[in-house]
Amino acid sequence: MEQETKRPLKEIAEAFSGLADNVKEGSDSGVDVATFAHACDRISILFSSLGVAFKFAEKDYVSKVKDLLDASKEFENLGALIDSDIKADTVRKGGSHTRNLLRVKRGLDMVRVLFQQVLVTPGNSLKEPAAKAYDQVFAPHHGLLIRKAVIAGLFLIPTKSAFLAKLNDTESTAEEYVQTFVTCAEPVVQYVDNLFTKKDLGLDW
Ligand code: 1PZ
């Protein structure tokens, strides 16, 4: 009913520039879980512009972000969230906050590479940018079945202009926001990677 014209890409860009500021100011483990999870939650809207092909990815991503949103009531910052799993020896356990954080971080990185590719790839196809991003970020961590499903799904994604139209943007109005996301997501991803590395948890699982 009350649908004002939403600008999802603008909202995503704003959320991530706020989060990137948080990362810059943050000390060792200073980024709060709520700010991180809310920014990641904003990404979810992109799935509805991709059509039905990535419903399975959407469900997985949304449930993991929800877990982090819930965890934000319990843990002040990302470092404390991870430390609690270290203490309980549940870092790699299915469904653990830390494991979900690693997956959600990959989701951010996937969108970062996707947007970066969109900016440098001429033409109206999203397929090549999406394939590149998936190959770089997720494919090394997914089994054959999921990889095949994603490759099949890539044939069904809309064109760049149709995707942007669903987000109430055009290539020229979106560019600024897409660029902002690419710039701001980078230190965020780096920050989470550093947390895992410093705590000796590895990133390759
Ligand atoms: C235009 C671009 C479209 C490309 C979209 C590509 C989506 C990637 C497909 C991911 C399929 C996910 C299926 C479930 C995978 C799970 O096995 C793993 C491990 O989870 P766990 O065992 O810890 O419970 N989950 C993941 O790897 C996280 C997947 C999140 C996907 C987020 C993608 C964000 C991209 C948005 C693009 C608009």
Closest Cα to atom 20 of ligand 1? 103
Q: Is residue 104 part of a domain?
A: yes
* pLDDT of residue 28 exceeding 90: no
Q: Is residue 2 part of a domain?
A: no
Query: What spacing in Å lies between the alpha carbon of 107 and ligand 1's midpoint?
Result: 7
Query: What spacing in Å lies between the alpha carbon of 83 and ligand 1's midpoint?
Result: 25
- For residues 22-47, give the mean pLDDT: 88
- What is the rounded distance in angstroms from the CA atom of residue 39 to the CA atom of residue 19? 7
pLDDT band (50, 70, 90) for residue 26? low
Tell me what the pLDDT averaged over the chain comes to. 95
Query: What spacing in Å lies between the alpha carbon of 2 and ligand 1's midpoint?
Result: 31
pLDDT of residue 82: 97
Q: Give ipTM to 2 decimals.
A: 0.94
- Say which amino acid occupies 177: Y
Domain at 190, CATH number: 1.10.3520.10
- What is the rounded distance in angstroms from the CA atom of residue 84 to the CA atom of residue 22? 22
Closest Cα to atom 26 of ligand 1? 103
Q: Is residue 205 part of a domain?
A: no
Number of domains in the chain: 1
Q: Is residue 143 part of a domain?
A: yes
Closest Cα to atom 7 of ligand 1? 57
pLDDT of residue 45: 95
pLDDT band (50, 70, 90) for residue 51? confident
Which of 77, 114, 106 has its CA nearest to residue 203?
A: 106
| Domain ranges, residue 63 | 8-20+27-195
Q: Is residue 128 part of a domain?
A: yes
Q: Is residue 181 part of a domain?
A: yes
Closest Cα to atom 30 of ligand 1? 61
- Write the pLDDT tens digit of every residue in 149-204: 999 999 999 999 999 999 999 999 999 999 999 999 999 999 999 999 999 999 99
pLDDT of residue 27: 60
Q: Is residue 79 part of a domain?
A: yes
Candidate from 16, 60, 98, 106 with most ligand 1 atoms within 8 A of CB, to mutate: 60
pLDDT of residue 52: 83
- For residues 135-146, give the mean pLDDT: 98
Overall residue count recorded for the chain in this entry:
205
Exposure b/e, 80-111, CB count within 10 A at least 16 = b = ebbbbbeeeeebeeeebbbbbbbbbbbbbbbb
Query: Does any ligand 1 atom lie closer than 6 A to the CB of residue 107?
Result: yes
Query: Does any ligand 1 atom lie closer than 6 A to the CB of residue 143?
Result: no
Q: Is residue 135 part of a domain?
A: yes
Query: Does any ligand 1 atom lie closer than 6 A to the CB of residue 160?
Result: no
Query: Does any ligand 1 atom lie closer than 6 A to the CB of residue 42?
Result: no
Query: Does any ligand 1 atom lie closer than 6 A to the CB of residue 50?
Result: yes
- Write the pLDDT tens digit of every residue in 166-179: 999 999 999 999 99
